[in-house]
Amino acid sequence: MNKESKYAQFYSELEALISEDDAVISSLSNFCAIHEKHFKQHWVGFYLLHENQLILGPFQGPVACTRIRFSQGVCGASYTQMKTIIVPDVHKYPGHIACSGLTNSEIVVPLIKDGKCWALLDVDSLEFDNFDEMDQKYLEEALTLLNY
Ligand code: SME
């Protein structure tokens, strides 16, 4: 199945499951589980704004760093710039935080509500250059389901 078809299935499953009646933390958790089911990446999860830093939220994959400063890593940059960042080769990204030494590329997408970034989605791949504009487009669209 090609990537676009996977995203279509991923989105319809999310749409059916995500409900504004549920606590957001529960929906973030199920988002990770559904993403894992369709894409089987090395790591998928959220970092959440908490006071003056980003803290580890729901995820699927190996254990990860529990706190990230705004000035650190791809997550910090995505938070500060409030935009999606695609890193084709994490080893060439200055300041990249290697929670897992096995990751070779990643995408970080901010969740923005009322003009403020309140969380970040981070997807890590074992492959180099795994993410492109298609991932950005579909992930940004899927994440709007969580902005309630
Ligand atoms: N690589 C991220 C940190 C999070 S872990 O990869 C799960 C970064 O540089 O911000």
- Assess whether the C-beta atom of 122 lies below 6 angstroms from ligand 1: yes
For each of the domains in the chain, give its residue range(s) and CATH number, in order of start: 3-146 (3.30.450.40)
- Assess whether the C-beta atom of 61 lies below 6 angstroms from ligand 1: no
Tell me: the pLDDT tens digits for 100-115? 889 999 999 999 999 9
- Token readout for 123 is 């997807």
Determine if the pTM surpasses 0.95: yes
DSSP conformation letters of 15-76:
HHH--TTS-HHHHHHHHHHHHHHHH--SEEEEEEEETTEEEEEEEESS---SEE-TTSHHHH
Q: What spacing in Å lies between the alpha carbon of 81 and ligand 1's midpoint?
A: 16
What gap in Å lies between CA 72 and CA 9, rounded to an integer? 34
Across 60-69, average pLDDT? 97
